[in-house]
A = this chain, B = another copy of it.
């Protein structure tokens, strides 16, 4: 039993005429006749009673009609769906991104993506930097956005931005009047930062230790928003990735360029080598790079690459 045979059967069953059906099928009468004959022989009995003058369904043919209809409908739907996936009229991407990215740059990017591929579903996993690597490695997601891995992580990294740390100070602090600030100066204030397992916290401590400096940590949180709110309310100062500048300002804190040392690290897309991206994932990857380019023009604090 082949798809062609069932399509032919349905066409004949509908019109009850070989002559009419063979036009719809773009087939000669003889070919149609043979096709039906082959189907009948394959199934072991007649589906139509036909003399030269009229065509009618047998009882078994009658039974096949609804089955055939369902079969062909399902068949066409499946084919359609697959084709839609390939043409990105449908589909699904899974993405893991670290919170600072997921909460700041990602939303407008997703908006662009959605505008271009409205039926493609995007699942965003807003997880900490380490888990981004883990999820990509375990193939729980196709794409990850995170800091560039330090150790060779067996993951492919495509840089998007060069992110540097900026200082965050209360609006009413005298420091808020400066254009930029040195770490040495900043660290004379009570320091508010993320809790230890955080990549950001670890990065900070490593870089500063190398320069013989130490964080005068006064308050710790595991959420960047809390850090921002604490700074805004005058409890102390902080240093965060430039990526979060917008968020900090929204929370009522002031941001300054930080130097001596400039601490920076690439943020980019992580993929698992050898695992081919779905068409949908590839499209999202492309949008991520395009949007990066767009930002380069408008020029934010974090520098696109």
Contacts and interface: CB of A to CB of B under 8 A. Distances in A.
Given A82-B63, A276-B46, A71 B74 contact: yes
B79 A74 contact: no
A180 interface: no
Given A60-B85, A276-B49, A67 B71 contact: no
A82 B78 CA distance: 23
B278 A82 contact: no
A279 B61 CA distance: 11
Interface of A: 1-4, 43-46, 49, 56, 58-60, 63-64, 67-68, 70-71, 74-75, 78-79, 81-83, 85-87, 91-92, 142, 275-281
A82 B60 CA distance: 7
B142 A43 contact: no
A75 B43 CA distance: 13
A86 B43 contact: yes
Contact of A43 (B3, B44, B82, B275): B82
A45 B71 CA distance: 24
Contacts of A83: 43-44
Nearest to A40: B86
A245 B82 CA distance: 69
Given A59-B142, A63-B81, A71-B75, A45 B86 contact: yes
A67 B78 contact: yes
Given A1-B79, A58-B276, A83-B43, A74 B63 contact: no
Q: Which 9 pairs across A and B sit closest by C-beta, in order of nearness?
A: A59-B278, A45-B86, A67-B78, A44-B86, A49-B276, A60-B85, A43-B82, A1-B79, A64-B82
Contacts of A2: 2-4
Contacts of A46: 276
27 contacts: A1-B3, A1-B75, A1-B79, A2-B4, A3-B3, A43-B83, A44-B83, A44-B86, A45-B86, A45-B279, A58-B276, A59-B85, A59-B280, A59-B281, A60-B85, A60-B279, A63-B81, A64-B78, A64-B82, A67-B78, A67-B81, A67-B82, A70-B78, A71-B74, A71-B75, A71-B78, A74-B74
Contacts of A70: 74, 78
Give the most central of A4, A75, A91: most B CB within 10 Å: A75
Contacts of A281: 59
B74 A43 contact: no
A275 B280 CA distance: 56
Contacts of A85: 45, 59-60, 63
A288 to B, nearest CB: 18
